Structure 1
Amino acid sequence: MLVYGRSKYIIALLVLLLSTLYSLPNLYPQDPSVQITPNRGAKVDAAFQARVADALKAAGVTPKKIEIQGGGELLVRLPTPDAQIRASDVLRDAVGSNYVVALNLASTVPGWLRAVGARPMLLGLDLQGGVHFLMQVDQKAALQKRFESYAEDLRVLMRENRVRYESVERKPDNSIVVTLAPGAAIADAQALVAKNMPTLGTEVAGNSIVVRVPQSEIDKITTDAIERNVGTLRNRINELGVAEPVIQRQGNDRVVVELPGVQDTAQAKRILGATATLEYRGVVEGNAYDAVASGNIPPEARVYYRKELGPDGKPVPILLNKRVIASGEQLVDAKSGYDSQSGTPMVSITLNGVGGQRMFDYTSQNVGKPMAVVYIERIPEVKKVNGQEVKTIRTSEQVINVATIQGVFSKQFQTTGLESPKEAADLALLLRAGALAAPMDFVEERIVGPSLGAENIQRGVEAVGYSFLFALVFFLIYYRMFGIITCLALLLNLLVVLAILSFMGATMTLPGLAGIALTVGMSVDANVLINERIREDLRLGLPPLTAISEGYKRATGTIMDANMTTILAGVALFAFGTGPVKGFAVTLIVGIVTSMYTAVSVSRGIAALIYGRRRKLQSIAI
């Protein structure tokens, strides 16, 4: 009566083989590495490889291996995380600004395993070490930026359609007032605005058009700012070369960023939080010193200051047009290098179609006139107010270059006036990654060292191992032969869970290890139900084979019901949780699903293999 089909044995064998295969990569630890990526046409060849080796040797750093990757990068494998940090510092100075040096973790999995798609589980921040940032989006700045864009669009709309106007001003009540010149057709102008800006409301007040931004549009602006910032942060982290970062939105105005393996927090904060961008503006004729002294600044101009100091040791003022010709938002690509004529650091800029057209229109009409490049950066600062530290943001706007337009150009040109190759490389990185839609402040910062991560791994594995060992001892003493069957099913369950998580590319964290430990307990619970049901049937006088068959049959429904409620709880945790909660939910769901198969089906197959052919069985060890 204890029958287990041959096809079920074949399935169980396939599950065992596949689980073993896809769990194997986890036995190969990753090497702490430094990845060097060429930039601006630089080459990675045998000579460069020898140059890197000499630099490491001179610094007393012994690498495990230095190899050229298929993508044109150089990978330096190191024996320890400490050696990785030292090598990174040495190589950043040795290779120069033509290469990007980033920390990485290199796989040691054999090629034949990678060929079948087998890969190790990724380790989270708490197991691998790295940095954790909680960043808050400045929603007021996002609204200010969008309203400035609306105002500029209205000015352009009026000019292009030859509508005479006196001013375009933003008001505190989330409106923009366009004051028309006397005699202008106000009804036609209102219709023009309504047609080109359908999401905004318009109304007439005297000789002015009041453009109102509805609350729904304001909510959309703030939401879009956060989503754009998440995308921009992802691009910047990709530029840093960080493997498997975690970037996710938290609440209405915060973003969590976790960078496993990164220990240089200053570099990470500078790249993540920077809002550096460029603006190209026309120079307004006039004496800037007199305008600043008298306060009589032309209505179309604004005072900026050049980076160079004047003879008196003070910044030199300059009058620039309020209208932005092009900005970093229209940028397609940016590469740093050296100017062929002066030999100074520069950034080669490529604009999109809109920015290129604006630049073409401006340069076509202003050949022989000066144009300025404004470098804008928001710098976080901490000030003490009444004895308490208060975080503030200081906006730095400097004119880094003023040059005469020698000819007409559009999409491609160069920006010079940068102090160092590093400044040029950082500016190019930020421009390529995109400007943040709104400034972000660092609300929280945590650092997990690699040694602490290794300790967490050791303790987590010990916790899972001890949970399995306690279950093994209990079952062997209490259920004897069926205790052995249960432990074999438990082993297979752990193997299957590990294989599935590895195949999914899941990130293992401490909560994930807790989920695996809980899975062991849930799997034990299922086998206890089966074993106690068999004991009960034996006490009722049923033959051993019948008791085993009925025990599995009757306990299966109860196990399914109990585990289904746990799975639903795991789904709820995954749907509504964030970060570590999601990791715990994934391992819990996978572990419960696999335990239902191993506890019910696999253990029954083992029992059938041991007792199924013994027709005159009188007793069993349970």
Structure 2
Amino acid sequence: MLQIDRWKRVLIFGICLLGLFYALPNAFYARVEAHNDAVARIEATGVETPELVAARDGWPSWMPSNLVNLGLDLRGGAHLLGEVQVTQVYKTRVDALWPELRTALAAERDTVGAIRRVEAPEGVLSVEIGNADQMPRAIEIARGFSDPVTTLTGAGQQSLAIATQGATLTIQLSDAEKAVTDDRTIQQSLEIVRRRVDEVGTREPTIMRQGEDRILIQVPGIGSATELKELIGTTAQLTFNPVLGTTGDAEAQPGLGQFIAPSIDQEGVYYILEDSPVVTGEDLVDAMPGSDENGQPSVNFRFNPTGARAFGSYTSQNIGQPFAIVLDDEVISAPVIRSAITTGSGQISGSMNFDQANQLSVLLRAGALPAEMTFLEERTVGPELGQDSVDAGKVAAGVGFVAVVMLMILSYGRFGVFAAVALTFNMVLLFAVLSLIGATLTLPGIAGIVLTIGMAVDANVLVFERIREELRTARGPARAIELGYEKAMSAIVDANITTLIVAAILFVLGSGPVKGFAVTLTIGIVTSVFTALFVTRLITIMWFERARPKQIEV
């Protein structure tokens, strides 16, 4: 019999009203977005300015505030494709190994003889020992610093490749360890870039790995690619290095294990520093902008326990000696150690304004990029172009919606009107789900929505055509409608399952815009089936119960 239980009717109506409730904020996009930004700013700073309060109160707090995020091509913003110079990490690893290896070999000086580091290609550590016949002992000591590679592909291999030539011991990372290091470097770079971008409050950035050593960065709402490069391209490598001397010659050649860094405050002054830092920015746990004792902009930082111990030990043993605070190979300050600094905190001050102090604290909190990133591709999408894309998408969706509705009404009359109402709820539910999951809408996503509009009536067409066939067999209208939905069910399910499989393949194998298309298509398929099989059927039954027609035309 043609009927739907009361609890099912309440459930269907409830889902539709709930969808309308959660999709509604998108109709007031600018107001809700300003409300969300104000709430986030107040929570982050604890400060309520009149402007922030007005923006926060511009949307009721009891209403949902989830929005469909607009992607780069709809909002405007910056696009960068960066390549991480992973080979720089090899040099850092072997340079960090030298102090420990030197100490271990020096302890065996009576056996291996005098030791010294000799020139070698970048990423290679070459050590010359005095007693060449004791090379096996030197190799044994060096192997003590090698660890097994823990990946499946590197099983059974060591992290260091050790070779000898005469009295020279050569150490570098093994191929297996390089592969592990490359992957770790990219993952670390991804996380640091993501943290840096999140610090400045941008909306829904796309940050993903591409290929072996490249990172795709798309940030909607940012001013330009240059601005994004300034934020991401800065390595913000903070180190505290012992000072060996100063010079006025920028071309001076430092000794082995040393480097020259210019002073930011004193023009023409260059510091000769040890390569091995006392502590690095990796030991920082916090960095906040502030003011020094003279009221000038500064950055206050704090070390973790490991960094605090190392820094405290060094300052205790070197009272009266200068040390350099180095940021990206430039000396910010080179104070003289007056007393042991064991509190684990300090301050960076110098020639910077408050904006620069804030940006420096952001970079230090986010951490240092493990290796330099060079940008192979950069693109800026202006907000006007983004708005043009939004307008074009609205026109395309509107034209598609009207065309489908007109076709259904002309083809199926009253039943076409029922399908049009269901199609409206289909769009409402689609945007409600996109808002709830925080999806990012791009141009391909709009294409998925337009395609959903076209596909949404497929199930209705199958049902209505089946009802037509049942009416030709002289069955009553109620029985014809009931059989139409029952017999069309298998075809509807089969057709949409195959489309879902394709959408899943696009999501798994695709990237960026392709994933966005797959997401909107998948959600659209689910909402289309729901509205066709339940919403349209409920509207049809409610009309039939009121009109009680003796015959119907489809």
TM-score normalised according to structure 2 size: 0.86
Quick one: which of 438, 452, 470 aligns to 1:537?
470
Deviations 1:271-316, CA, capped at 9 Å, x for gaps: 111123232221225x8469977x6x55454444434567xxxx23
Give the CA deviation at 1:264: 5.2
For the residue of structure 1 that corresponds to 2:371, the secondary structure is coil
The answer to whether residue 229 in structure 2 is matched with residue 280 in structure 1 is no
Give the CA deviation at 1:474: 1.3
Quick one: which of 416, 421, 434 aligns to 1:501?
434
The answer to whether residue 81 in structure 2 is matched with residue 134 in structure 1 is yes
- 1:488 corresponds to which letter in structure 2? V
- 2:552: which partner in 1? 620
- 1:29 corresponds to which letter in structure 2? Y
- 2:409 corresponds to which letter in structure 1? L
Tell me, yes or no, if the aligned pair for 2:90 and 2:173 is still in contact at 8 Å: no
- 1:14: which partner in 2? 14
The answer to whether residue 342 in structure 2 is matched with residue 414 in structure 1 is no
The answer to whether residue 115 in structure 2 is matched with residue 166 in structure 1 is yes
The answer to whether residue 333 in structure 2 is matched with residue 401 in structure 1 is yes
Give the CA deviation at 1:570: 0.8
- 2:46 corresponds to which letter in structure 1? G
- 2:282: which partner in 1? 329
- 1:246 corresponds to which letter in structure 2? T
Deviations 1:543-591, CA, capped at 9 Å, x for gaps: 3322222221111101111110111111111112222211111111011
Tell me, yes or no, if the aligned pair for 2:324 and 2:331 is still in contact at 8 Å: yes
1:170–1:563 distance in 2 versus 1, CA, 3 Å: farther
Tell me, yes or no, if the aligned pair for 1:30 and 1:106 is still in contact at 8 Å: no
- 1:326 corresponds to which letter in structure 2? V
1:332–1:187 distance in 2 versus 1, CA, 3 Å: farther
Tell me, yes or no, if the aligned pair for 2:160 and 2:177 is still in contact at 8 Å: no
Give the CA deviation at 1:218: 0.9
Tell me, yes or no, if the aligned pair for 1:113 and 1:119 is still in contact at 8 Å: no
Give the CA deviation at 1:516: 1.4
For the residue of structure 2 that corresponds to 1:233, the secondary structure is helix
Larger fraction in strand: 1
Tell me, yes or no, if the aligned pair for 2:96 and 2:276 is still in contact at 8 Å: no
Tell me, yes or no, if the aligned pair for 1:346 and 1:418 is still in contact at 8 Å: no
For the residue of structure 1 that corresponds to 2:203, the secondary structure is coil
The answer to whether residue 175 in structure 2 is matched with residue 215 in structure 1 is yes
Cα distance in structure 1, aligned partners of 2:287 and 2:540: 67
Quick one: which of 106, 122, 126 aligns to 2:69?
122
Cα distance in structure 1, aligned partners of 2:280 and 2:107: 20
- 1:86: which partner in 2? none
Tell me, yes or no, if the aligned pair for 2:463 and 2:488 is still in contact at 8 Å: yes
- 1:278 corresponds to which letter in structure 2? L
Quick one: which of 359, 368, 374 aligns to 2:311?
359
1:190–1:74 distance in 2 versus 1, CA, 3 Å: farther
How is 1:34-183 mapped onto 2 (pairs within 5 angstroms)? 71-73=45-47, 108-114=58-64, 118-155=65-102, 158=105, 166-168=115-117, 171-172=120-121, 175-182=124-131
Cα distance in structure 2, aligned partners of 1:288 and 1:68: 49
- 2:366: which partner in 1? 433
- 1:467: which partner in 2? 400
How is 1:13-32 mapped onto 2 (pairs within 5 angstroms)? 13-31=13-31
The answer to whether residue 419 in structure 2 is matched with residue 486 in structure 1 is yes
- 1:350 corresponds to which letter in structure 2? R
Give the CA deviation at 1:373: 2.5
For the residue of structure 2 that corresponds to 1:111, the secondary structure is coil
Give the CA deviation at 1:168: 4.2
Tell me, yes or no, if the aligned pair for 2:322 and 2:334 is still in contact at 8 Å: yes
1:160–1:482 distance in 2 versus 1, CA, 3 Å: farther
TM-score normalised according to structure 1 size: 0.77
For the residue of structure 1 that corresponds to 2:278, the secondary structure is strand
The answer to whether residue 292 in structure 2 is matched with residue 339 in structure 1 is yes
1:36–1:168 distance in 2 versus 1, CA, 3 Å: farther
- 2:338 corresponds to which letter in structure 1? Q
Give the CA deviation at 1:208: 4.7
1:234–1:517 distance in 2 versus 1, CA, 3 Å: same
- 2:299 corresponds to which letter in structure 1? V
Cα distance in structure 1, aligned partners of 2:542 and 2:219: 49
Give the CA deviation at 1:482: 1.4
- 1:40: which partner in 2? none
Give the CA deviation at 1:33: 6.1
How is 1:197-346 mapped onto 2 (pairs within 5 angstroms)? 197-199=146-148, 200-201=159-160, 203=162, 205=164, 207-263=167-223, 265-284=225-244, 288=247, 298-299=255-256, 301-307=258-264, 315-340=268-293, 344-346=296-298
- Say what the alpha-carbon RMSD is for the aligned residues: 3.4
- 2:191 corresponds to which letter in structure 1? G
- 1:379: which partner in 2? none
- 1:131 corresponds to which letter in structure 2? A
Give the CA deviation at 1:362: 1.9
Tell me, yes or no, if the aligned pair for 2:507 and 2:514 is still in contact at 8 Å: yes
- 1:217 corresponds to which letter in structure 2? E
Cα distance in structure 1, aligned partners of 2:530 and 2:352: 65
